[in-house]
Chains A and B, each alone.
Chain A
Amino acid sequence: MRRVFDRFLTGLTALCALIGVSIILMIVAAVVWRGGGAISWDFLTDQIRLVGASGGIFYNILGTLILLVTALAVSAPFAFGIALTHGVFLRKTRSRERLMMWIYVLNGVPSILLGLLGFIVFVLFLGWGKSWLTGGILLGMMMVPTVAVSLSERIQALPSRYLDAAAGLGLTESQRIWSVILPQSFGGWVTGSLLGLARAAGETAPIMFTATIFAGATLPTGIKENPVLSLPYHIFILAQDSFDPATGEKLWGAALVLLLLVFSLSLAALPLRLHLHEEAKTS
């Protein structure tokens, strides 16, 4: 009886896994099937024409990359600050737990709320209008929890003998941070950032009122009133507003490019994550 039940559970688990994987595969297959035809050199290097029915997505790719690089730069100092506070400066377990709780709360904030916050603070209050910098800052905020958690896990896993050895040589706390903790947890920052970027790349809600427009922007030349084009917003508008069948293939093509971008970021993080696990095994 127990054996049958055991087999049943194993089968059920396998079925769940199979369903999960096949949903992803179906989405990927649909996007590749419908968008594959749109991908060409011109599509990747030309700018948008005829409200998306013609031309390419060059500035959308560039805009998304600008937003991502800004987000990366914005998230790093906050993530390092939080991870060091958690792993080094806070001595009490209770305060550490409390800090972590707030990080998870921040992680759970719906992205549309971040978008509204950005709209109120940057667009209206600071008077920036739509700006790439606002989008970068908001996406950076979204990334902070992922990066901070990944970093502090790395710091936590750092064998204490390294810190003891450095302290035993008379290094001060800041010297220990700079020469032991940061170099040794650098991989955690890379992993967390790649995962965070992969998520931020596809976000529409935080940037739709604050940073991105559908057409008419190229490279930003300043901060105020300097929006960029972006892939997710492009897909969103084409999917929602366009009745022109010619845009259909372009829409799927843009989705495929976005999917490939996110995929390659996640994939780049994979070897680093595996490497981390190997290190944990040997130490």
Chain B
Amino acid sequence: MNTKAFTPAETCSTTEAAPKRPVLECQNLSVFAGSKCILREISLSIAENQVFGMVGPSGAGKSTLLRAFNRLIDLQPNFRIEGTIRLNGNDIYERSVDPDQLRSRVGMLFQQPVVFPASIEDNVLFGLRHHRKLSRSEKATEVESALRSAALWDEVKERLKESALRLSVGQQQRLCLARTLAVNPEIILMDEPTSALDARSTESIEQLIVELKKQRTIVLVTHNLGQARRVTDWIACLCPSKESGSGQLLESACCDSFFESPTCRTVFRQIPDDELLPPA
């Protein structure tokens, strides 16, 4: 594990007793937009079946890092990366890698739920139907299982043909999760998935995250330190450097020891949510 300045305390009481296989690793990763450096030399390693949290003030490059993990950054003009990102040991920026195929293995959930103006059912199948041909009965099974995994089935099973735009924002976000789960990715990247949601919807998403990590790896960017404490196993803290403004990795540590780290406590004060800091 690449950590800077601070080595996580040995008393990691979380589930991380035995070290797990790393699924996603990045080594000296820098991201540039034109000539501006957005992220500088990030090295971290994300283990299997873990909820890996990323916190830090706005502008630290957290979302950019997520977008580098599934090469969504390729779609933005003028972005360039240096260093390596490995998924199960294979460099994802190698020429032979098909970015579209990669994105079906590394799913993403965005800050605002993005539902398409179509029925609930069509939204769930939106990605999957492009990956393989589905019979009518397969479609029904896939829709049900994806909606069940996203804890939305009971609320919408009577109205699968209705427009998805009629759902509440919280339901829409779970629908987006169902759509991502239908494609069956190994990793799900979540970019502040609850920042647009009310407390109850946030709670249900958090429960889902804990549930989902039994089978998948989750990378969660959050501004909410309370949420980070509740659901993550490991946390990385990113912060823009004072001189250049490019994001740097301050800390990467298991959740319990992370909140005791002195460097991170300084950074936390810059985050609006700092009332969630554990008592000193």
Contact = CB atoms under 8 A, between A and B. Distances in A.
A161 B72 contact: no
Contact of A169 (B75, B77, B103, B112): B103
B59 interface: no
B22 interface: no
Nearest to A92: B77
B135 interface: no
Interface stretch (A39-47, A122-130, A172-180, A213-221): A172-180
A168 B70 contact: yes
B171 interface: no
Interface residues of B, number: 25
Given A164-B110, A179-B130, A170 B116 contact: no
Given A175-B130, A180-B116, A167 B103 contact: yes
Nearest to A180: B116
B114 interface: yes
Best-surrounded residue of B107, B127, B179, B180 (most CB of chain A within 10 A):
B127
B96 to A, nearest CB: 16
Contacts of B116: 162, 165, 180
A184 B130 CA distance: 18
A179 B129 CA distance: 11
B130 A161 contact: no
Contacts of A98: none
Nearest to B103: A170
Contacts of B15: none
A90 to B, nearest CB: 10
B176 interface: yes
A92 B34 CA distance: 13
Nearest to A172: B100
Given A169-B103, A169-B180, A162 B114 contact: yes
Contact of B127 (A91, A163, A164, A170): A170
Contacts of B130: 169-172, 175, 179
Interface of A: 91-92, 161-173, 175, 179-180, 184
18 contacts: A91-B77, A92-B77, A161-B110, A162-B114, A163-B75, A164-B110, A165-B108, A165-B114, A168-B72, A169-B179, A169-B183, A170-B105, A170-B183, A171-B127, A175-B130, A179-B130, A180-B116, A184-B117
